[in-house]
Structure 1
Amino acid sequence: MKRITPAMLTSLALDLRNGWSIGTFGAIGEFHHVPGDRVCVNPCFDGLEIVTQRGAIRFRPSGPLHAIAWDSLVGRGRRWRHSMAFCGPLQLTGRHTLRVLGKDVDAVRPEDRDAWLVDLGIGVGQVRMCVRTGNARLVEALAVHTDDPLAVITEAFALLMEAQPHRVMLSPAGRLEVYQPIPTPDGDSPLGAHTHLLPKLVRLRRSCSALDPVPEGWQPFLTLHPAAPFRPSDDDSYDYDRLADLSFLPLLEEFGTQEDLQVSGTFRAHVRQHGTPENLKIPDTRRGRARMHIELLRMAAQGHEGMERFVPADTVKSATDCG
């Protein structure tokens, strides 16, 4: 991984097409700007804040961040998406506990600084999921010394739905705040800022998905979600967005893993020489195989002659840019 400069992080933050997340496996907060929403971009001490009526994010790293970029398969292997994690050392200093942290004097908006901040006790390493509320009943219900915070959260679920507290994700990279209501268990996540809490995944106590190529001993403090290289179409399929895809490639080249770069280079060189990927040795690792498959999909999506017969017929609808 390579250290990212504050200037580059600020540049990525100022691109409102980018989405962001802070969290751990099963407990995560997301921030996305919804076109048409009013947005305030404010410089702050050693950082930057972006605020909408749906949520806010503050970029304020407390130390150096090292970045890693990758793409991953989605849609049953028919599409891919991009990600970039900003990481620091994974420090496991025992289990997190459910506890009241006091008034949230560091809240992004001044009007939220008199509410109580409660650590839900389900974080991993240096990343925490909290709720912020002025509801004394909810604070009392969560102020329980326990070895199983998820059980307390489950017991207090009705009160959580009634109080609809803000959710606050904390990490050494900054904080992410969600103001929108918590949806019902059978409801959809709202557009813009929202959170996910999946107890079965939380109990695995992982800092991130095992499919993410984050090196052992490191933890994502902040993750970038750029514009997707595919857009939903009116007929339940997807159109390839060449511009969105190509925009992320410089980050892949600079911050991608050595394995990814090697697999991609070998694949492209073979196709340049032979015209197709036939007789190319398949990588031994799961990550290597996924990367090779993405390169095949990308060439097919970009209209390289002869690639279509190596992928399912419905993988790519169009080789043109989206308007």
Structure 2
Amino acid sequence: MTMQSLRNVLRTQLVDRDAGWSIGSFGAIGEFHQRPDDRIAVDRADNLCRATEKGGIRLEPEALSETVAVAFETLSPRAERWGHGLALCLPADKAAVPSREVLTELGPDDEALRPEDRGAVLFDMGLAQPQIEFCIRTADPELLGVLRARAGRSLMEPGNPVMGTILSSHPHRVVRSRLGRVEVFQKIGGPDTGGISPDGPHTHVLPKLLRSGRTHSANTPIPDGLVPCAMLHPPSAVMGARGEDIPFDLQRFETFQVLLRLFGRTSYVAAKDRVLTALEEGAEDALQEPATRLERTGLRIALRQQARQAALHGKRNLSMRIDRLRRRFDHLTEEPDAVEDERPGHESEGEASRAAAGPAP
């Protein structure tokens, strides 16, 4: 897969309002989602940049030459679902960014997506993440005064009032990596938003997860030595934009399977192919439990996907055969740590409630 081919994939997905994007680490993330009625403020898809009045994303085209794309699928705790994504990775040394542990003024944001934001001032929040800088941006004189008075201190230290001021002021959030940036203009989820994240672009900071020091979820199968610096979340075949159930969408399913064959882990794709071959040849009794967690996930997800397709086409006998295999292999209790939120890049409600240590952007 050439750099131009990857760029074409990203450009096509960028103009699809059902696709989502994120840049973040394990516990701090900025997400960009579009809705049908969102007004487009910046539309430079050829340069991998798009923004609405709620937020935006820009990927760095010149960085794609060093990017390793990894397509993956994840298990859901809901038996008829699965998640998927395309991680844009860099080698760990090339992914590294300045790891600041205190609130730090960075100066005017000359790289802002919208011209009107380029005079506002960026502050790194000091989350000390390996591959992202999680920043806030403001031109408000009162907030600037508060931030500058407390610069050089950790936002997490006892008695520091800055986090509360940030939560009530709702500055822009800017999450940067070596591959680009996500900007969020909407309010921070909290008391002013009814205790939920606003629909569309939003951010999460979960201190408990940050303390793990991980760059990404253990359930996202990134090869050793690589770090995800941006994520594409193509439209799901089984979920809508807000995580609701939808009728199985065969076109969406097949579109992602093309990406999976181009960018997926070879052993994972092979595990899924063994399931398809066994069903086609009537040899499913010969299927064996794979040796690795990655391949076991592939088997289980393949069975879920084949079950949805069999039901769509009314193939009752095939559905019964798949059900027998699922009783053998697709047990949610088998590997509890392998069952994660079906929307990669989105912090699940359960994860957020477990990890929250007070409000944060």
Q: Which residue identity lines up with residue 292 of structure 2 in the other structure?
A: T
Task: Check whether the contact 1:62–1:172 (CA below 8 A) recurs between aligned residues.
Answer: no
CA distance in 1, matches of 2:267, 2:146: 48
Structure 1 residue 40: Cα displacement: 4.1
CA distance in 2, matches of 1:133, 1:200: 27
Structure 1 residue 75: Cα displacement: 3.3
Relative distance call for 1:297 and 1:121 in structure 2 (3 A) is same
What corresponds to 1:96 in structure 2? 100
Task: Check whether the contact 1:41–1:48 (CA below 8 A) recurs between aligned residues.
Answer: no
CA distance in 2, matches of 1:125, 1:183: 25
Structure 1 residue 284: Cα displacement: 1.9
CA distance in 1, matches of 2:257, 2:183: 30
CA distance in 1, matches of 2:166, 2:13: 34
Sequence identity, in percent?
A: 35
1:225-281 per-residue CA deviation (whole Å, 9 max, x = no partner) reads: 01111136xxx8653222211111100011000111110122211222225x33411
Structure 1 residue 290: Cα displacement: 1.3
What corresponds to 1:169 in structure 2? 175
Relative distance call for 1:182 and 1:53 in structure 2 (3 A) is same
Gaps of 5+ in 1: 316-323
Q: Which residue identity lines up with residue 285 of structure 1 in the other structure?
A: T
CA distance in 2, matches of 1:113, 1:172: 19
User: Do residues 35 (structure 1) and 36 (structure 2) align?
Assistant: yes
CA distance in 1, matches of 2:51, 2:253: 27
- The 5 A counterparts of 1:279-290 are 279-290=286-297
What corresponds to 2:267 in structure 1? 259
Count how many residue pairs are aligned between Structure 1 and Structure 2: 307
Q: In angstroms, what is the RMSD of aligned CA positions? A: 2.7
Relative distance call for 1:153 and 1:57 in structure 2 (3 A) is farther
What corresponds to 2:59 in structure 1? 59
* Secondary structure class of the residue paired with 1:301: helix
Task: Check whether the contact 1:2–1:67 (CA below 8 A) recurs between aligned residues.
Answer: no
Give the ranges of 4+ consecutive aligned residues of structure 1 lying more than 6 Å apart after TM superposition. none
Structure 1 residue 152: Cα displacement: 7.2
Relative distance call for 1:201 and 1:77 in structure 2 (3 A) is farther
CA distance in 1, matches of 2:269, 2:297: 13
Q: Which residue identity lines up with residue 152 of structure 2 in the other structure?
A: H
Q: Which has the higher strand share?
A: 1
Relative distance call for 1:109 and 1:85 in structure 2 (3 A) is same
Relative distance call for 1:49 and 1:81 in structure 2 (3 A) is same
Q: Which residue identity lines up with residue 108 of structure 1 in the other structure?
A: L
1:176-203 per-residue CA deviation (whole Å, 9 max, x = no partner) reads: 1000000117712111111111110111
Relative distance call for 1:95 and 1:48 in structure 2 (3 A) is closer
State which drifts further: 34-43 or 105-114.
34-43
Relative distance call for 1:217 and 1:16 in structure 2 (3 A) is same
Task: State the TM-score, normalizing by the size of structure 1.
Answer: 0.85
- The 5 A counterparts of 1:134-283 are 134-142=139-147, 143-146=150-153, 148-151=154-157, 155-184=161-190, 187-231=195-239, 238-274=246-282, 277-283=284-290
